[in-house]
Chain A
Amino acid sequence: MIKLDSKVPEGKLSEKWTNHKFNMKVINPANKRKFDIIVVGSGLAGASAAASLGELGYKVKVFSFHDSARRAHSIAAQGGINAAKNYQNDSDSVYRLFYDTIKGGDFRGREANTWRLAEISNNIIDQCVAQGVPFAREYGGTLANRSFGGAQVSRTFYARGETGQQLLLGAYSSMNRQVNLGNVEVFPRREFLDVVIVDGHARGIIVRNLVTGELEKYASQAVVLASGGYVNVYFLSTNAMNSNATAAWRAHKRGAAFANPCYTQIHPTCLPVHGEGQSKLVLMSEGLRNDGRIWVPKKAGDNRNPNEIPENERDYYLERKYPAFGNLVPRDVASRNAKYVCDEGKGVGGGKAVYLDFTDAFKRIGIDAVKDKYGNLFDMYANITGFDPYKVPMQIYPAPHYGMGGLWVDYELMSTIPGMFVLGEANFSDHGSNRLGASALMQGLSDGYFIIPYTMGNYLGTEKPEKVDVERSEFKEAQQNVEENINKLLSINGKQTVDSIHKRLGHLLIDKVGMSRNEKGLKEVINQIRDLREEFWTDLQVVGNAKSINQTLERAGRVADFLELGELMAIDALNRNESCGAHFREEYQTEEGEALRNDEEYKYVAAWEYKKEGEWELHKEDLEFENVKLATRSYK
């Protein structure tokens, strides 16, 4: 039975982290090298954690399913990273970043965590500059900023449309330095398949070597999961092909509570779906909303070339409905409104797409300036669609992008399994029910560079865990568990492919647990997912064996976990009888169609404890707001 203790420190919000850092135990430099730490994942959170833990002297092992640690999906983040530097003298502050993030998350995040994130944001920029990240600069040599959704200040730092790549290469280079110095060892092409628990604490992991197929056991005194987000559960999403929930889900089944799984972000600026054979959806950075204007024809069924539709026959619906924020409303609001206009038949060609138009920006700042800011995104668009966005407005539509939910963690980022910390998108913290743009990079690096180095010391200093041997029965049991799972997948011998079942799961979820949900649909979909899971385990075809590279087997394991997670997402969405942020329940909306929260009954984090397949117990962490007044979000 899980007991949630958020461990949020007492005291003034602005002093909590400072005081807590002082109150936590520290380990003297000579003793740090006696501790082995496992980090799963090498994205922004994992690589930065490995680098800074290595710098402190811990012995770190990093595991990644990629061929190189540098390929983690953080690399694809385009737009930027927020910080409260106030370099633009536009009245930004730690408080404003905190407030925007809490409000953007529709008051479903933990105040203390969000404050800490805003407080640390400035250190991250300094850190990244020092390690050589080539951020965009002004002509005078200072750092440049752009604005992003959900904020009225310009606080986003960027490197063209490749900010994630540059930040990840920064973290990767710091980690490589520790590899060079012998503090960090990297194990690529290894997939995490189970966590090993000894006397109630996480003490190791089981991975599959994706080249030889062998199962390998590794022991440590603490485990850090930084394995990314779970929205590939929808099949079509902006996540990379290999992004998956398996590490988080297997840990969940070993006792880590999963929080707010229904908070999934559907990102407004993605390329529309072109056909059944499509493998993934491509995001166009939200940064584009700075200079691009979103519109649809006023008349449903207006199939004219967009350049021939005159101004007065266009509906710039975001600017019309939300004059204060215009095209820069938060993601959930932008996505929902795109869905509404398309549901009314006003989408491009009557389908699922709206225009993102740069004509005004070309006139205002010139084509060259637009090219300088977004050149690579325009190229990518032209490449994929075959249309030139310098000549014809882009077409966009929302796509699953980010999971605000994830494994529950306390203030020190520890899950409900002692000794197992969860960082980055894999945890649920900081973003409430909707994440603002340019905040994911901030959170990943904040967790890795500036939080885990402190909280890890506190855990190790308090628990003083002994080293354990991989020959212990707990390791053998976990390995056997993994082996049985693999053998089961290989022996079904049915007719359906992994992808075909994954696609069907995706259709179910995007229809009923996507941009809007209702009770009837959620109840239906829970049964449909159960049936699909049954089909999966009786009629799946996994070709080949487990003794070498077998990508079908890898995907089968991940889809098996998605089929369980999908059910929990629906259960969570059904439980939450309110609309908040990205979770929009049709029964709960204002007369104007905006999300209607129910603070009295649902001002809590829903943390689900796994009991057995298809059965969970709900634990509630009440959210206390001492520093902000709960208000209805308004971007009008």
Chain B
Amino acid sequence: MSEKNIDLTLNIWRQESPEAKGHFEKFEEEISPDASILEVLDEINNRLEAEGKAPIAFESDCREGICGTCGLVVNGHPHGPLPKTATCQLHMRNFKDGDTLYIEPFRATAFKVLKDLIVDRSGFDKIQVAGGFISFNTGSAPDGNAILISKELADQALDAAECIGCGACVAACKNSSAMLFVSAKVSHFALLPQGKPERYERVQSMVKVMDENLFGSCTNTYACEAECPKGISVLNIARMNREYFMAELKTGTDE
């Protein structure tokens, strides 16, 4: 698989703590084009540790693009310049010998930097606790085939449910809006018959907590969809707005 190694200049964000002032640290590296960008960081860290220096703190887990743990801004793009690709799937063959890279954490008011490239995305969990579920107790389910769902609808719901909760949409948005994330969750449930009974309450509760957690508003620039590693569509945002509007009409509350 491997071709010739390439030489890159990496400018990597270092920040000791949430309060500390951060800065870029420069690394000159010779890199295998088969390596992923996270493996490059592994190599640098291994060297730093051997020298007794503090390694670069960054998060990753599955390294298969599905857990949503990793997330770096590479040259201004959350998850890097490749479309529909999570950071862990960004391989160095996508860069040229002599390129300079800037690697930063996801930046948003709602995502506090904890250390170097690690941010706090707990706001996402709070939004889901507010209503991202179908109220249903274990043990009382009817047979799986008792509810018929057309293939088209199931596929649409899955398109939305594929969201990996990484936060790239927030980092991409000039307003730090979480609308793409929340709308993917709302759409997944609203599309399915099982989710219909609670659809209005759900969208209202989730939007309320989204606002409380310092996520901004949507102004339709679609940077979120462009940077989303799963290609979640902004049509979900339109659907969520519709759900929300209907909910306001039904309940008559206006916050």
Q: Quick check: which of A92-100, A200-208, A309-317, A382-390 contacts chain B, the rest being far away? A: A382-390
**A-chain residues with CB within 8 Å of residue B195 when the two chains form the complex:** 132
**A-chain residues with CB within 8 Å of residue B150 when the two chains form the complex:** 137, 139, 141
The reply to whether A70 and B194 form a contact with Cβ atoms under 8 Å apart is: no
Q: How far is the CA of A111 from the CA of B45 in the complex (A)?
A: 48
The reply to whether A159 and B125 form a contact with Cβ atoms under 8 Å apart is: no
The reply to whether B145 and A75 form a contact with Cβ atoms under 8 Å apart is: no
Central interface residue in A127, A169, A387, A495, by most chain B CB within 10 Å: A169
The reply to whether B61 and A73 form a contact with Cβ atoms under 8 Å apart is: yes
Band of interface residues on A: 35 or more
Given A162-B162, A176-B128, check contact A380 B61 (CB 8 Å): no
- Chain A residues 127 to 163 lying within 8 A of chain B, measured CB to CB, are 127-132, 134-143, 157, 159-160, 162
The reply to whether A67 and B59 form a contact with Cβ atoms under 8 Å apart is: yes
Is B252 interfacial (CB-CB < 8 Å)? no
Query: Given A66, A71, A140, A384, which contacts B91 in the complex, CB threshold below 8 Å?
Result: A384
Central interface residue in A188, A241, A387, by most chain B CB within 10 Å: A241
Central interface residue in B17, B61, B136, by most chain A CB within 10 Å: B61
The reply to whether B149 and A137 form a contact with Cβ atoms under 8 Å apart is: yes
Given A66-B69, A495-B50, check contact A173 B132 (CB 8 Å): yes
Is B179 interfacial (CB-CB < 8 Å)? no
Q: How far is the CA of A73 from the CA of B192 in the complex (A)?
A: 26
The reply to whether B137 and A55 form a contact with Cβ atoms under 8 Å apart is: yes
The reply to whether A68 and B43 form a contact with Cβ atoms under 8 Å apart is: no
The reply to whether B124 and A548 form a contact with Cβ atoms under 8 Å apart is: no
- Chain A residues 111 to 139 lying within 8 A of chain B, measured CB to CB, are 123, 125-132, 134-139
Per-residue CB proximity of A50-70 to B under 8 Å, as 1/0? 011001000000000011111
**B-chain residues with CB within 8 Å of residue A279 when the two chains form the complex:** 36, 38-39, 42, 63
Q: How far is the CA of A552 from the CA of B129 in the complex (A)?
A: 32
Q: How far is the CA of A497 from the CA of B55 in the complex (A)?
A: 11
Q: How far is the CA of A169 from the CA of B125 in the complex (A)?
A: 12
Is B78 interfacial (CB-CB < 8 Å)? no
The reply to whether B69 and A67 form a contact with Cβ atoms under 8 Å apart is: yes
Query: Given B62, B89, B125, B133, which contacts A76 in the complex, CB threshold below 8 Å?
Result: B62
Per-residue CB proximity of A546-577 to B under 8 Å, as 1/0? 00110110000000000000000000000000
Query: Given A138, A160, A240, A386, which contacts B67 in the complex, CB threshold below 8 Å?
Result: A240
Is A82 interfacial (CB-CB < 8 Å)? no
Q: How far is the CA of A160 from the CA of B1 in the complex (A)?
A: 28
- Chain B residues 125 to 176 lying within 8 A of chain A, measured CB to CB, are 125, 128-145, 147-151, 154-155, 157-158, 161-162, 164-165
The reply to whether B42 and A383 form a contact with Cβ atoms under 8 Å apart is: no
CB distance from A499 to the nearest CB of B (A): 5
Given A130-B142, A211-B114, A241-B63, check contact A551 B57 (CB 8 Å): yes
The reply to whether A275 and B192 form a contact with Cβ atoms under 8 Å apart is: no
The reply to whether A68 and B66 form a contact with Cβ atoms under 8 Å apart is: no
**A-chain residues with CB within 8 Å of residue B54 when the two chains form the complex:** 543-544
Is A274 interfacial (CB-CB < 8 Å)? yes
Q: How far is the CA of A55 from the CA of B50 in the complex (A)?
A: 49
The reply to whether B154 and A134 form a contact with Cβ atoms under 8 Å apart is: yes
Is A507 interfacial (CB-CB < 8 Å)? no
Q: Quick check: which of B115-123, B212-220, B236-244 contacts chain A, the rest being far away? A: B115-123
Q: How far is the CA of A513 from the CA of B111 in the complex (A)?
A: 44
Is B75 interfacial (CB-CB < 8 Å)? no
Given A241-B61, A552-B55, check contact A132 B194 (CB 8 Å): yes
**A-chain residues with CB within 8 Å of residue B84 when the two chains form the complex:** 379
The reply to whether A380 and B2 form a contact with Cβ atoms under 8 Å apart is: no
Is A456 interfacial (CB-CB < 8 Å)? no
Q: How far is the CA of A484 from the CA of B53 in the complex (A)?
A: 23
The reply to whether A177 and B133 form a contact with Cβ atoms under 8 Å apart is: yes
The reply to whether A174 and B133 form a contact with Cβ atoms under 8 Å apart is: yes
Q: How far is the CA of A188 from the CA of B125 in the complex (A)?
A: 10
- Chain B residues 227 to 243 lying within 8 A of chain A, measured CB to CB, are none
**A-chain residues with CB within 8 Å of residue B192 when the two chains form the complex:** 132, 134
Given A75-B62, A159-B158, A380-B64, check contact A52 B138 (CB 8 Å): yes
Is B46 interfacial (CB-CB < 8 Å)? yes
Query: Given A68, A87, A130, which contacts B124 in the complex, CB threshold below 8 Å?
Result: A68
- Chain A residues 9 to 59 lying within 8 A of chain B, measured CB to CB, are 48, 51-52, 55
**B-chain residues with CB within 8 Å of residue A405 when the two chains form the complex:** none
Is B105 interfacial (CB-CB < 8 Å)? no
Per-residue CB proximity of A195-215 to B under 8 Å, as 1/0? 000000000000000010000
CB distance from A544 to the nearest CB of B (A): 6
Q: How far is the CA of A499 from the CA of B47 in the complex (A)?
A: 11
Chain B residue with minimal CB distance to A52? B138
The reply to whether B125 and A66 form a contact with Cβ atoms under 8 Å apart is: no
Central interface residue in A48, A384, A449, by most chain B CB within 10 Å: A384
CB distance from A541 to the nearest CB of B (A): 6
The reply to whether B124 and A274 form a contact with Cβ atoms under 8 Å apart is: no
**A-chain residues with CB within 8 Å of residue B9 when the two chains form the complex:** none
The reply to whether A543 and B63 form a contact with Cβ atoms under 8 Å apart is: no
CB distance from A580 to the nearest CB of B (A): 30
Is B11 interfacial (CB-CB < 8 Å)? no
- Chain A residues 260 to 286 lying within 8 A of chain B, measured CB to CB, are 274-275, 277-280, 282-283
Q: How far is the CA of A499 from the CA of B49 in the complex (A)?
A: 10
Given A186-B125, A240-B62, A541-B52, check contact A275 B32 (CB 8 Å): yes
**B-chain residues with CB within 8 Å of residue A126 when the two chains form the complex:** 141-144
The reply to whether A543 and B52 form a contact with Cβ atoms under 8 Å apart is: yes
Is B189 interfacial (CB-CB < 8 Å)? yes
Is B85 interfacial (CB-CB < 8 Å)? yes
The reply to whether B60 and A241 form a contact with Cβ atoms under 8 Å apart is: yes
The reply to whether A277 and B42 form a contact with Cβ atoms under 8 Å apart is: yes
**A-chain residues with CB within 8 Å of residue B248 when the two chains form the complex:** none
Is B10 interfacial (CB-CB < 8 Å)? no
- Chain A residues 488 to 512 lying within 8 A of chain B, measured CB to CB, are 495-500
Per-residue CB proximity of B1-43 to A under 8 Å, as 1/0? 1100000000000000100000000000000101110110011
Query: Given A130, A280, A499, A552, which contacts B194 in the complex, CB threshold below 8 Å?
Result: A130
Is A527 interfacial (CB-CB < 8 Å)? no
**B-chain residues with CB within 8 Å of residue A384 when the two chains form the complex:** 36, 89, 91
Ordered nearest first, which 8 A-B pairs have the shortest CB separation?
A: A141-B148, A126-B141, A130-B141, A173-B133, A134-B157, A134-B158, A177-B133, A240-B61
- With A277-B35, A544-B54 given, name 19 new contacts (CB 8 A): A67-B59, A123-B139, A126-B142, A127-B138, A130-B142, A134-B155, A136-B151, A137-B150, A162-B66, A166-B161, A177-B133, A180-B129, A279-B36, A279-B42, A282-B63, A379-B84, A497-B46, A498-B49, A543-B55
Please list 13 pairs of residues, one from A and one from B, whose beta carbons are closer than 8 Å in the complex, sorted by A's number: A48-B138, A55-B137, A69-B125, A75-B67, A129-B194, A136-B154, A137-B155, A141-B148, A188-B122, A277-B39, A278-B35, A449-B138, A495-B50
